[in-house]
Amino acid sequence: MAGFQPDLVHPCSPLVPQWRDAELIQAIDTSRLQHWSTVFPALTTLPGTQFDGEQWFMPFGWGRTSVTYRTDLFEWGEEVSYGLLWDERYAGQMAVFDFVDETAFTAAIYAGVDPCNMSDDELDMVMDLLTEQKELMRFYVVSQSDITQAMAAGEMVAALTWNSGVADLKEQGLPVRMMLPKEGVETWC
Contact (CB, 8 A) for 55 and 44: yes
Helix intervals (H) in 27-162: 41-44, 105-111, 120-134, 144-152
Q: Work out the angle at residue 98's Cα, subtended by the Cα atoms of residues 186 and 138, and round it to the nearest 5 degrees.
A: 105
Please report, as a single letter, which amino acid is at residue 188. Answer: W
Instruction: State the pLDDT at residue 62.
Output: 83
Count Cβ atoms within 10 A of the Cβ of residue 139 and give its class: 0-12 exposed, 13-18 middle, 19 or more buried.
middle
Query: Could you list the pLDDT tens digit for every one of the 189 residues in the chain?
Result: 567 788 888 888 888 899 899 999 999 999 999 999 999 998 899 888 999 999 999 988 888 889 999 999 887 666 789 999 999 999 999 999 988 878 898 999 999 998 888 999 999 999 999 999 999 999 999 888 898 999 999 999 999 998 888 899 999 999 999 988 999 888 888
Q: Give every CB contact of residue 13 below 8 A, 6+ residues apart in sequence.
A: 46, 47, 48, 49, 57, 59, 188, 189
Nearest to 45 by CA among 35, 32, 58, 34: 58
List the chain domain ranges: 13-55, 63-188
Predicted local distance difference test score (pLDDT) of residue 78: 66
Contact by Cβ (8 Å): 161, 178: yes
Distance CA 142, CA 4 (A): 24
pTM: 0.79
Provide the b/e sequence for 145-162 (b: ≥16 CB within 10 Å): ebbbebbbeeebbbbbbb
pLDDT of residue 2: 64
134: three-class secondary structure by DSSP: helix
Evaluate the CA torsion angle 70, 75, 78, 81 in order and state its sign.
Answer: negative
Longest dimension (CA), the chain: 55
Amino acid 173: pLDDT: 94
Is 63-188 a CATH 1.10.10.10 domain? no
Indicate the helix (H) or strand (E) that contains 169.
helix 163-171
